[in-house]
Amino acid sequence: MVAGLLETRHAGLSVEIVEFRTSGDRMPDVPLGPGLGDSFFTKEIESALLDGRVDLAVHSCKDLAAVLPQGLRLGAVPFREDPRDALVSLSGTLTELPAAARVGTSSMRRRRFLSAFRPDLSLVELRGNVPARVRAVDEGRCDAVVLAVAGLRRLGLEGRITEVLDLAVMIPAAAQGALALEVREDDEATRAMVAVLDDAASHAEVTAERACLRRLGAGCYAPVAALGRAKDENLELRAAVVGSEGIVSVHRSSRVRRADELGVRAAEDLLSRLGLATLRGVPWAGVAPGRTEDV
Which residues form the catalytic set?
A: 63
CA distance 151 to 83: 10
Residue pair 205/234 in contact by the 8 Å Cβ criterion: no
Strand arrangement, sheet containing 122-124: 122-124, 102-104, 144-148, 85-89, 163-164
Strand partners, 250: 239
